[in-house]
Amino acid sequence: MLRTKIAVFVSGGGTNLQALIDAQKSGLLQSGEIALVLASNDKAYALTRAAENNIPSAVVVRKDFATQLEYEERVKEVLTEYGIELIVLAGFMSILSENFTSAYPKRIINIHPSLIPSFCGKGYYGLKVHEAALAYGVKVTGATVHFVNEIPDGGEILLQKAVEVKEGDTPEVLQRRVMEEAEWVLLPRATEQVAKDLQKGR
């Protein structure tokens, strides 16, 4: 059976992309294949990871377009070109509008570094999530993989994993623990799950 073609959307270092590449190599990700890495800036180290693993990549920068609509239409063109069926947002910093998300119902997944509904929604990304968790004093945080809809972090939850907050944690230390113990575990697992479902539904 043909594998589900996946595009991974990135903006920075691409550690979650690396987790997906490793999962593909180990056979954990077998129902889908990473057919494209799409970056929101041409300096993203994730592009180097893609090149080192012979994965095609594209760069589409929001500020190169007059409107969000034009930007998203270009992204759609690139996805069509590569026959993409599933989109994985892996540290992607550009917001996607309802016009875009509604074109791919239950075909876009995102990893968020908290246990949704805590510390999520507009303005909660990257270190800010961990800063908020520590400021609030929670004893447990984690990560969530969810479907993407028009509401930031508002789509149906696929998988969650809890991570302990330890005394003396800084946002950076906590961020690293959440990545290692939750994000890099959950994202490949959820990607395989959705890729498999899409394969069956063909």
- What are the catalytic residues? 112
Decide: 185 and 166 in contact? Cβ < 8 Å.
no
25 exposure class (CB count in 10 Å sphere: 0-12, 13-18, 19+):
exposed
How do strand 4-10 and strand 86-89 relate by DSSP bridges?
A: parallel
108-112 β-sheet, strand order: 57-59, 32-39, 4-10, 86-89, 108-112, 140-147, 157-164
Decide: 31 and 24 in contact? Cβ < 8 Å.
no
